Amino acid sequence: MAPTRPIERADLGTPWVRNAIAVVGGMFATFCGYSFFVPFLALHLQDLGLSPTESAAWVGYIGFVQGVGFATSAPLWGMLADRVGRKPMVVRAMAASSIGMLLLPLFDSALAVLLVILVRGFLAGPGTAAVALVSAVTPRDRLAMVLGWIDASQVLGISLGLAAGGILAATIGIQKTFVAGGCFGLLGSLLVLLMAREDFVRPEKFRGPSGRNLMRRFGGALTQARSTLNPTIVFAFLLSSGVWMSQQGTGYIMPLRVQEIAQPGQVALFTGLAASVFAAAMFGGVLLAARLAGRWGYRQVLFAGLIGTTVLFLPQGLVGELWPFMLARALQGFCTGLVMPLGRALIAFASDRADRGTVYGLSGVFGGVGTATGPLLYGTLLTATIGVGPAFMLGALCFLPALLSLLRRSEINALAARG
């Protein structure tokens, strides 16, 4: 395979580098702020008066409606990105993500929290919009590298956000931590708004009165996008679904698992640290993914990363001490970091540039389905029936569809090499 070329002096100041820097910084701020919220939602619900069992059920419902909102809206936002530009969609998604967090402390019931997260899920989802923005202007031989930067910025933001969020939650309280995270996340949308540049020209096939027959045009956009789908893109969709289902499903019950193996006064701190070591190791994985794929092949690296991610769910559900649990989290984070940017790059390699926003929007449907079903399955159903540890172990099932699809995708290396 042709190796990914690094940044050269001549690239500095070009639109694709400028947009990459803006999106990387924006995604870092957004996901850092978001990480002040996710691991502590179950504990926040307990502060509202719910028992640990009730909070496990409610985080499942909340995660489900967030995923439903994202899955149902992602194709619409993708279609709009192909028609009005990708930058407005990125700013909208980042701002909505952070504002939703700022609103949470204003409500004192689990149902109200659920409704806020539902609206947030419908309006947010910055990842697919950001990828569509940078992929539209980034040279193909730099795309995997830039997508690796985006994933690295996300996991670095998650890593630092989880650590900082754990410290803040233990010192100033969970509600004030939510406010701090929302304010920091808003900086990401401002960065993209002020720094990113997009000379967007609506493709000829999308021109015409914008307010007429919206649903018919939306259906036409989906039909056009479906015509570009192929087995490689479907594999990438399954991979996205598996990543989001497993991480959202186990992420929401993380505090309950830590409660089983940590001292009572240290649960908030070690919940943040457990998620932080995963994200820190994932950061290393995404930085190395493009380089390893260029040396050994996309398919080989994807297969190794998927196997590692799948198997490492087992010790997380079995161990009874913190240090082996943390070690398994770190190793799994590295493996997950290998597969995420490569899967996103394959979508760009295998899709038409003019339809890329819509195709990434369809990818968001799979990610949203995973986001919705993961917390419901692992938080509400499995944890309540078989316990937290066994539920963690069953996270391995999330990646079986992607693994089975990858076994039949012998064309992946040749497709990536053409990029």
Domains of the chain plus CATH, in order, are 9-198+228-418 (1.20.1250.20)
Q: If we measure between CA atoms, which residue out of 54, 74, 161, 171 comes closest to residue 121?
A: 74
| pLDDT at site 111 | 92
Helix (H) or strand (E) holding 29: helix 15-34
Report CA 31 to chain centroid distance, whole Å. Answer: 9
DSSP string, 335-346: HHHHHHHHHHHH
For the stretch 40-95, pLDDT in tens is 888 888 888 888 878 878 877 887 887 788 777 877 777 787 778 888 888 999 99
For the stretch 110-124, pLDDT in tens is 999 999 989 988 888
Q: If we measure between CA atoms, which residue out of 247, 257, 357 comes closest to residue 309?
A: 247
* Confidence at 301, pLDDT banded by 50, 70, 90: very high
- The residue-averaged pLDDT of 340-358 equals 76
pLDDT over 70, % of the chain: 87
Locus of tokens 């700022």: 102
User: What is the rounded distance in angstroms from the CA atom of residue 279 to the CA atom of residue 319?
Assistant: 20
Record the tokens describing residue 273, joined without a space.
Answer: 């640290």
| pLDDT at site 3 | 47
Question: Does the pLDDT at position 155 exceed 90?
Answer: no
For the stretch 229-248, pLDDT in tens is 778 888 888 898 898 888 87
User: What is the rounded distance in angstroms from the CA atom of residue 32 to the CA atom of residue 153?
Assistant: 9
Locus of tokens 């050269």: 8
